[in-house]
Amino acid sequence: MLRTGFVFAAAVALLAGNPSSGADALKDAFRDPPREYSMEPLWSWNGTLERERLIWQIDQMVEKGVYGAYMHAREGLNSSKTPYFSDGFWAAVKTSVEHAAKAGFRAWIYDEDRWPSGDAGGRTRAANPDRFTARGLEHRSQEVCGPATLPLGFPKNSFVIAARKRGAGIDGDSLVDLTDLNRTGGRWQAPAGEWIVSVFEITTGRRDLPNYINPAMTAEFIRNTYEEYAKRFSQHFGKTIPGSFFDEIYNWAPAWDPLLEERFRAHKGYELRKNLPLLYFDAGPRTVKVRCDYFDELTKLYEESWFKQLSAWCARHNLILTGHTNEEVRNIRDQGDYFRTWRHPQMPGTDNEDFRYTWPRVVGSWKPKQLSSVAHVYGRRRAMVEALGGAGWTVTLHQARYGVNMLAVYGINSFVLHLFHYSMDTPDTMDDWPNSWFYENPCWKYFKKFADHTRRLSFMGSQGEHVADIAVLYPVEQVWSEVLANPRPEGWPVEKIVDRLMEEHLDCDLVDTDSLIAAAPEAGGRARIGKESYRVLILPDAATVSLKAYARIAELAARGLKVIAVGSLPRNSAENGGDDPAVRKISGRLFPGGAIDLERLPGALRQVVAPDVAIDSPEAKQLRYLHRRAGSRDIYLLVNSADKRVQARVRFAAKGRAERWDPETGDITPLAGSQPYELAFEGWQGYYVVLDGSAPPAPGKPAPPARERAIPLDGPWTFQLAQRELDYVWRADPGETRVEAPVADFRVERGEDSPWRRVKLTDRLNPAKGAARYLSAWDAPWITRYVYRTRHPGQLGGANLVFEHSIDVPFAPAGGWLEVAGDGGLHCAWNGKPLGAAGEKRLALEKLPAVQGRNRISCAVKGGAYLLAQGEIRGPGGKLVRVATSSEWDVRGKDGEPVKAYEFAWPPQGDWGDLPLRGKRVEFPVTVSYRFAIPPGARELEPPNIQGARWEAQADGRRLESRNGRFDVAGAQQLVLQVVLRRPEDGLQSGPVFRCGKAVRPLGDWQEAGLDWYSGRAIYGSQFERPEGRRFVLDLGELCYTGEVWVNGKLAGTVVWPPYRLDVSRHVRAGKNELVVIAANLLANEMRWNLFDSAVSRPISRWWHDGNILRDGDKLRSGLIGPVRLLAAE
C-alpha cells in the first residue's frame, strides 16, 4: 500500500469515530484540516526558473494557505534559459522539492511539456515516429450507381469498402473490400444498383498526439519521464512529491492501430476492416454489435496500454496518479469507457471547463458527477478536478467560491486550480488561458480565506462514505452504438436526467456495466454496486445495453431492486446486436407498462425512496446537497447555486444533534430545536449541516434573530490610493504613496478638434521608445466588427463586412479629401455613388461629392474586414467637418443587422504599420499632448521622464512651475503634459508619478475619478461613535471586490465576497472609533489596457484583454461603493 494512502486511511479511521468526551478530532480537523486537503494549483512554469523566485513563490503559497502545487511546464518555458528537461529545469525541480520539504508544501509532478501527456517533449515519438504517433480514420463516402467503372485513386493508406445501398443505410451482406485494389490503382466494376463506397484514410491528425493504444509508447514515455524523475527524486516520492498528473489525453477518433485490428480479430472472431462502414451506416441488427465490439476492444487496449501500465508504475513507486482526459459524453468516441479506464489511477480526475466555456459561468453537474461516481463505485477516497481555468480577468473570488462549492456538492474533494502563473512577462505567458489566481492579482493578499474554505470542503468531502439511494446506468453501450454516426450535439438523455435529479434533491451515482455485472443484492431491496449501496437503478433512454449486465439487473430486480426505464426500453445488446430477443424479453418482464418520461421520473422515485433532504422554499431548486456518513455523524453539504439569497425549511432523513459547520470560517454552531430547520443561504453560499446520531437534538427552540439597529456611516470619508505599498504588508496607514499612471490620453496638436486617444506609455518588449510606438499622421483608428458575447475567443472581423456612417455637413461644401485603407479589396460609396476604383486596398480622393445636410459613406471590405478612413469636408470661412473611422460607425455582415464598430488599433500599431496619409508621415518638430486624471489625494508630481525640444506641464489649465524638482498638483483634477518632439522617440519615457496622501471624497466607483485603468488598492478612513449594544457588525454594502478592515489600528479581518460584513465587536471601544477599509479591485482594469504591442493583432490576446472583459464590463467597477452601516445588537 502507498504510504500516502496508509496515512490517509488511518486519518479517516481516526476522524470518523464517535466524538469522545474530550477533544473531538473531526471538529478540530475541520477547523484546521491537514495540509493534504489544500487546493493544489497548476503552478505554471513559463519563464526562466530562478532559485530565489521559486522559493519566494512557494512561501507566498504557504502563507496564503496553499500547501501544494503541480510543477507545470507551460508556454514560455522552452523559450527561456531553463527549457523543459534541461539542466536548469532539473535544478528548478530540485530547488522546489527541497524547499517544499522544509515549508510543508507538496510538489507534484506534471508529467509533460505542456499537453497532451505522453510525448515527453517530443522524445517519445522521436523513438518511433510511425508507431508512437496517434492515428485515426478519416471517413468519407461517395455514391456509385452501377453498373459502372470506378477508378480507385484514393490515398494508398486508406481502407476502401463498398456496400450496396439499402434505404438510408447499407446492406451488410454486400460489403466488398476494395483496399488492395485501390493500392494498385485499379478500377472497380460496380454491379448494377446503388452503392456507397466508404474511404477510411489513416491519418495522424494532430501530429504531437501520442499513440495511447500502443503499450510500447507508454513504456517509452515512462522511461523518458517517470524514470528521470525517479533517478533524481525517488527519496521524495510519497512524501514531498505525492504523485503525478497527466493531462488532456485522448485518441484520434475513430482511433486506429494495427494492434487494434489484430486484437479485434483475435477477441471478436471477425475482421474489423471490412466492417468499418457499419461505424457510420446502419446495416441492420449487426450494426450495434460491430460498433460496440469496436469500442470495447479500443477501451481494453487504451485501458491496458496507458491507465494500467502508468498506474502500476506509480503504485510501485509510492506515487498517486491523477490527471484528466476528455470527459463529455460525446468524448466516449475517443475515450471508450470512462469507468473502465479511470478505475486504475489512484485518484481519478476530470477537467471542469465551465468557467471557460459558459457565460454567464455555470458549473454543470455531468462531469463532476461522472467523476465522483467513479470514485464512489471503485472506492477511491479522492476525486480531483482541474477547475476555474480560462475564466479571464473579470472572475472574482465570489465566483470562485461558487465554483468550488458546486463542484464539492457534486462530490469533488480535490481541487487543482488553473492557473498560478510563475510570470507574465510576454504575450505568450500573460495571455495563456488566464486568469492567474496568483500574486499578480490584487485579491492575492486575501486569498487565504478562499484557500481555507476550499481546504475544509476537500476535508469534509473525504470523510466517511457517500450516501445515495439512486444509481443511474452509465449508458456506454448506447453511446457506442451511435456516437460516430450521431454525436448528438444537443446533448444526451443521461445528462438531462442527472441534471434533473440534482434539481429535485435526488442525489445519485452513475454506475458502469462491469460494476453491475458484479453487483450483489442486499436487504431491503437494495443492491451493492461496486462499493456503494442503492435502492433504485435508472436506465437512461438506453436502447442498447450489455446483455450480461441486463440479466444481472433482472436478477437484482427480482430480489427487490427498483428499476425504472426513462425514455425508451432496452432492445439491443452489445453482445448480439439490434433487436436482441433476450433483451426484449427482460424488458417485457421488468417494464410491463413501458418506460416513463423525464417529467414523471421525480414522482416515480419518491414513491420508492423517502427524501434524504426535503426543502420547502419557493427557491428550492436553487439548492443542491451532498450526503456523507462518517461514524455516528451524517454530513450534509448544502449549496445555493444562485447568486441570490434563499430562505428554506429543511428536513433531513438523518436524526440526532444538529450543528452548522461553516467552511468559510471553521465555525461550528448548534441548531437548536427539532426538524425542519430554518436555514438561510446567501448567494452562492454553502455550508454543512452535521447530525450526530449518538446525541439527541439540542433542547429548546432556535433563538430569535437579535434586534439590530443600523447606524449609517456616511462619513466624511478620506481616500488614498496605494498602488503597491500594501501588497505584502499589513498596516492601515502606509504614509505617502506613489502612483504611476501607465496610460494617457494622447493627441497630436493639429487643431482644436484633434482627437484624443488612449495610449500605453511603455512596452518593454518593443525596442521603439517614447512616441515612436504610437505616433502617426493618422487621427483615426482601424475599425472592425467584434462579436464577443459568446464563448471564447469571440469573432474579430468577418467576410464581406460593410461599414457605414452618416456625416452631417451644416454648410455648402467647398472642397475636401478622403483616404481609405482596408486589409482587403474596398468597394466604397458616398451617398450611394461609387468612390474610386473597386477592389483596391487603398483609396485616395482629393475631391469628395459631399452635400450640405446628411451624407452617408459605406465601405464593403474583403479580407478580414478591417477599415481605416480619414478625411475633411471644407466650407467657407475655414469651417471644417472631419471624417474618421471610429466606434460610432455601423458595421454589418451577411445577416444585415448593424452593430457599432470596434476600434481595433490606431496606426502605427497592428499588422499594417505606419501608413502615410496623403503621401506623408509625421513631420518634425511636432507638438503632442498627454492628458491624465490626477488621482484624488495627489499632492505632488515627480519630475516627468520626458525627452523633447521643450515641454510644459499644466494642471487644470494652469501652468505648473517646478519646486525642488517637483510640481504642486494638490486639489487639481487634470494634468496635461505638452511636448515638442524633435524625433519619434521623444515624448514620455515612462508614466508620470504622483505622490499621494489622503483626500476627502465620497464613496463611489474609482472610474468616476478617472481611474478606470487602475488595479490596486485604495484606503478609506472614517470615524464613528460607539452606539449602544454589545455586538457590532460592519456592513460595507457594495465592495468591488475584496479588502481588509481596521478598527482603532487593529486588523479586524478580511472580506472577499458578499455579503461584505464583519463582526468588529472586540475592536470597538467607548467613544470615538477610527475605521479604515482597504479595498482592492480586479486585475481586469489593468488588463484592459496592458496589451503588449506585439499582441495587438493576435485574436486570442484581444479576447483576454478586450472581449472577455467587455462582456463582463460591470466587473470594472472598483472600490468601496457602500452604503456602509454599523449594525448594533444586544
pLDDT digits (tens, 9 = 90+) for 238-260: 999 999 999 999 999 999 999 99
What is the average pLDDT across 607-616?
97
pLDDT tens digits for range 938-956: 999 999 999 999 999 999 9
pLDDT tens digits for range 481-526: 999 999 998 999 999 999 999 999 999 999 999 999 999 999 999 9
Which residue has cell 455516528? 632
Say if 1058 falls within a structural domain: yes
DSSP H or E run through 914: none
* Closest of 1043, 1025, 1007 to residue 397, by C-alpha: 1043
What's the confidence (pLDDT) of residue 6?
35
Say if 790 falls within a structural domain: no
Least confident piece of the model among 112-116, 322-326, 667-671, 891-895: 891-895
CA atoms of 301 and 952, how far apart (whole Å): 75
Q: Pairing between strand 243-246 and 106-113? A: parallel
Report the 10 Å Cβ neighbour count for 315.
Answer: 17
Claim to verify: residue 768 and residue 881 sit in the same structural domain: no
Cis ω before 676 (30° cut-off from 0)? yes
Kindly report the CATH number assigned to the domain that includes residue 627: 2.60.40.1180
Claim to verify: residue 186 and residue 263 sit in the same structural domain: no
pLDDT of residue 101 exceeding 60, the answer is yes
Please report, for the chain, how many H helices and E strands are present, in that order: 28, 70
What is the average pLDDT across 94-122?
98
Claim to verify: residue 365 and residue 426 sit in the same structural domain: yes
Query: Which of 463, 484, 512 is the endpoint of a domain?
Result: 463
Claim to verify: residue 762 and residue 811 sit in the same structural domain: no
Say if 163 falls within a structural domain: yes
pLDDT level of residue 306 (50, 70, 90 thresholds): very high
Side chain identity at residue 838, one-letter code: A
Domain span including residue 885: 796-903
pLDDT tens digits for range 165-192: 999 999 999 999 999 999 999 999 999 9
The DSSP call for residue 407 is H
How many distinct structural domains can be found in the chain? 7
The DSSP call for residue 900 is E
Query: Which of 203, 222, 243 is the endpoint of a domain?
Result: 203
Kindly report the CATH number assigned to the domain that includes residue 526: 3.40.50.880
The DSSP call for residue 706 is P
Claim to verify: residue 721 and residue 809 sit in the same structural domain: no
Report which of residues 253 and 8 the model is more confident about.
253
What's the confidence (pLDDT) of residue 205?
78
What is the average pLDDT across 1068-1072?
97
CA atoms of 285 and 576, how far apart (whole Å): 8
Show contacts of 305-309: CB within 8 Å, 24+ apart: 305/212, 305/213, 305/214, 305/215, 305/217, 305/218, 306/118, 306/212, 306/213, 306/218, 306/249, 306/341, 307/341, 307/342, 307/344, 307/345, 308/344, 309/215, 309/218, 309/219, 309/222
What's the confidence (pLDDT) of residue 10?
40
pLDDT of residue 14 exceeding 70, the answer is no
**DSSP collapsed to 3 states, 479-535:** HHCCCCCCCCCCCCHHHHHHHHHHHCCCCEEEECHHHHHCCEEEHHHEEEECCEEEC
Kindly report the CATH number assigned to the domain that includes residue 1062: 2.60.120.260
pLDDT of residue 20 exceeding 60, the answer is no
Render 1059-1111 in DSSP notation, one character per residue: S-EEE-GGG--SSEEEEEEEEE--THHHHTT---GGGTT-HHHHIIIIIHHHT
pLDDT of residue 3 exceeding 80, the answer is no
CA atoms of 27 and 35, how far apart (whole Å): 16
| Mean of all residue pLDDT scores within the chain | 95
pLDDT of residue 661 exceeding 80, the answer is yes
pLDDT tens digits for range 994-1014: 999 999 999 999 999 999 999
Say if 277 falls within a structural domain: no
Claim to verify: residue 765 and residue 871 sit in the same structural domain: no
Contact criterion met (CB below 8 Å) for 553 and 490: no
What's the confidence (pLDDT) of residue 15?
52
Claim to verify: residue 859 and residue 756 sit in the same structural domain: no
pLDDT tens digits for range 376-393: 999 999 999 999 999 999
Claim to verify: residue 393 and residue 522 sit in the same structural domain: no
Claim to verify: residue 310 and residue 427 sit in the same structural domain: yes
Query: Which of 463, 495, 520 is the endpoint of a domain?
Result: 463
pLDDT tens digits for range 551-576: 999 999 999 999 999 999 999 999 99
What is the average pLDDT across 137-159?
96
Say what percent of the chain tops pLDDT 70: 98
Say if 594 falls within a structural domain: yes
Claim to verify: residue 421 and residue 562 sit in the same structural domain: no
Say if 916 falls within a structural domain: no
Claim to verify: residue 189 and residue 225 sit in the same structural domain: no
Report which of residues 705 and 749 the model is more confident about.
749
Say if 208 falls within a structural domain: no
pLDDT tens digits for range 47-62: 999 999 999 999 999 9
Claim to verify: residue 443 and residue 585 sit in the same structural domain: no
What is the average pLDDT across 344-352?
98
Say if 283 falls within a structural domain: no
Whole-structure pTM value: 0.97
CA atoms of 788 and 784, how far apart (whole Å): 13
What's the confidence (pLDDT) of residue 18?
45
